[in-house]
Structure 1
Amino acid sequence: MNNLQPLACIVIDDEPPAREILGRYIDQLPTLQLQAQFGNAIEAMTHLHQHQVDLVFLDIQMPQLKGTEFLKALKNPPPVIFTTAHPEYAIEGFELDAVDYLLKPIRFDRFLRAVNKVSNIKEHKPADIAPVKEERNQPSFVYVRADRKMVKVMLNDIHFVESMKDYVKIFTNEQVIITKQSLNSVEAMLPEQQFVRTHRSFIVSLSKIRSYTHELIQIDNNEVPIGKLYRNEVLKMLS
């Protein structure tokens, strides 16, 4: 039995429907406890100075003070999960060491993945929850920073993604895009129904797989390895 205390979290978003959705999601997880909700970052700042908060769900585009500016102003911020309808802010969010980035409209399964990352950081064991059926409104593209600009990448064009130390190479139909960010941050941006992590250094598009074995995946003329730690999950998805 897990006797650990749930994570005390707050929601900061100027849109009431967005706060309502997140509040409903939070109530479904015994590992989370909603402490408060705020319509702007100024009110939340006062609350953070007076209470212990374990997790913040933070909208980026808000009046008065943007979520990214709010986070920069905090001396010792708790873990933050950004929420926004604007994918072009993703890179800035990860540069501020956010745990994850949720694109509105937020699906519960994607919300759960983000929360589990925080649970791992806090050494909480996430509750066993049944898989959630896929919802509509899947994103069709992501933005990544390359060549000093934000580049739109259509998800259907991505073949696979490879990590190279501090950089990530995204192999698409027409080009290879190199962006300075972690593979984990790229993985968080990609729908798990379309992509799978096969190795600590690789993510592949399920639709681009030509063939596979227990150790390798064939995509065009490229062979992508399947790591031992990922093998069971990968083969389960492919079968």
Structure 2
Amino acid sequence: MKIRTLIVDDEPHAIEIIEKYIENFQEIELVAKCNNAIQAFQLLQQHKVDLIFLDIKMPGLLGTDFIRSLKHPPKIIFTTAYQDYALEGFDLNAVDYLLKPIPFDRFLKAVDKVFALYKVTNPKITISEKATEQKNDVFLYLRVERKMVKVNVADIYWIESLKDYIKVVLKDKVLISKQKISLLEELLPEEKFMRIHRSFIVSTHKIESYHAYSVELLGIELPIGRNYKTECHKRLKSN
């Protein structure tokens, strides 16, 4: 089957990246591209669409409000530079939530969820150079005080939960952002990060040493929680 797909984003460059990614999947058919939610609403009256890659913060009408206006919305993958809308997005039954700039491996993970929903088996994927060129540079945008700060995940040593806030520790600075650690766990590449405690996520590549009850990064010991101990030791032994 072909999954009929629409891209809705007010940034031409963002549309271009998603379009290039989609070209790698024979099962995905790009029906149209729209610059705002009003155009998308009009197009949905004329065409059947199975999946929308939808930006949230657009002029005129937010992507989240657009979805609420639809009686029978298609499957949605939100694409945005703002983490603040993540919980709202998942409340709207989004398939996934991708933070810009979107690396191809993270895009692939989202598409795999769509394939599972439509029972697509053995998808035919052709990975192009343009699709993989961003793979090694994965970024997050964190709201720090009143601005959005771009953080390369490769620079993160660990994340610590502080109730409704998180502390993101880099080599030369610490960022405090109002965010839930569980949300950040969903956004980080799982092959590079590991939850070791209800309050800590660490970069597996930056662990300097470990023993039964803790790991050490930047000369600081962080505890391994009892409920995470078995999985942590398994991951650490395999690295």
With structure 2 as the length reference, what TM-score do the two structures score?
0.68
Give the distance between the partners of 1:119 and 1:216, measured in 2 at CA: 39
Cα pair 1:105 1:137 within 8 Å, conserved: no
- What corresponds to 1:77 in structure 2? 73
> How far 1:159 sits from its partner (Å)?
4.7
Deviates more, 1:15-24 or 1:113-122: 15-24
> How far 1:222 sits from its partner (Å)?
2.7
Cα pair 1:142 1:189 within 8 Å, conserved: no
Query: How many residue pairs were aligned?
Result: 221
> How far 1:205 sits from its partner (Å)?
2.7
Cα pair 1:158 1:170 within 8 Å, conserved: no
- What corresponds to 2:189 in structure 1? 191
Specify the code of the residue in structure 1 equivalent to 2:223: N
Give the distance between the partners of 1:128 and 1:205, measured in 2 at CA: 32
How do residues 81-100 of structure 1 correspond to structure 2 at under 5 angstroms? 81-100=77-96
> How far 1:172 sits from its partner (Å)?
6.2
Give the distance between the partners of 1:231 and 1:114, measured in 2 at CA: 28
Give the distance between the partners of 2:122 and 2:201, measured in 1 at CA: 24
Specify the code of the residue in structure 2 equivalent to 1:39: N
Give the distance between the partners of 2:143 and 2:189, measured in 1 at CA: 14
Cα pair 2:89 2:97 within 8 Å, conserved: yes
- What corresponds to 1:105 in structure 2? 101
Deviates more, 1:62-71 or 1:119-128: 119-128
> How far 1:105 sits from its partner (Å)?
2.1
Listed one character per residue, the Cα deviations across residues 15-34 of structure 1 (whole Å, up to 9, x for unaligned) are 22222221121111112111
How do residues 25-64 of structure 1 correspond to structure 2 at under 5 angstroms? 25-64=21-60
Cα pair 1:217 1:226 within 8 Å, conserved: no
- What corresponds to 1:138 in structure 2? 138
Give the distance between the partners of 2:84 and 2:62, measured in 1 at CA: 14
How do residues 1-239 of structure 1 correspond to structure 2 at under 5 angstroms? 5-125=1-121, 127=123, 129=125, 132=132, 135=135, 137-140=137-140, 142=142, 156=156, 158-159=158-159, 183=182, 185-192=183-190, 194-196=192-194, 204-207=202-205, 209=207, 218=215, 220-223=221-224, 225=228, 234=235, 238-239=238-239
With structure 1 as the length reference, what TM-score do the two structures score?
0.68
Listed one character per residue, the Cα deviations across residues 139-187 of structure 1 (whole Å, up to 9, x for unaligned) are 255469xxxxxx99976253578xxxxx99978669xx99779x5x544
> How far 1:47 sits from its partner (Å)?
2.2
Give the distance between the partners of 1:29 and 1:231, measured in 2 at CA: 37
- What corresponds to 1:164 in structure 2? none
- Structure 1 residue runs of 5 or longer lacking an equivalent are 145-150, 162-166
Instruction: Give secondary structure in 2 for the equivalent of 1:109.
Output: helix
- Shift of the 87–43 alpha-carbon distance from structure 1 to 2, 3 Å rule, reads same
